[in-house]
Amino acid sequence: MEKITRSANFAIPDDPEFSTYRFIIVAAKRARQLQGGARSFLPTTSRKPTVTSMEEVRRGLVKYTDVNQYPPVEIVPET
């Protein structure tokens, strides 16, 4: 049986779980921002926003918050 290893190419540097899924979600959202006209954090020759966003996430330049990390906020209607 082959041992599965985690690749540092698809992980966020400050992510304690090294979640590839989280890396993909953050990179995809950043790619959408770049497609919408946001400026890149890196000087790049790549015209593809997905490549640029993956490199930005890999280097830890994209900040994100994990909504599952904090307890949900309960909204109480005023009476």
* CA–CA distance, 68 with 8 (Å, rounded to integer): 23
3-state helix, strand, coil in the chain (%, to 5): 35, 0, 65
- The reported pTM is 0.69
pLDDT in tens, 5-26: 555 567 777 776 778 888 888 8
* Tokens of residue 70, six digits: 């904090």
Structural domain spans, the chain: 8-58
In the chain, how long is the greatest CA-to-CA distance?
Answer: 62
* The predicted structure's pLDDT at residue 10: 72
Cα–Cα distances in angstroms (integers) from residue 76 to residues 24, 70, 71, 73, 79, in the given order:
35, 18, 15, 10, 9
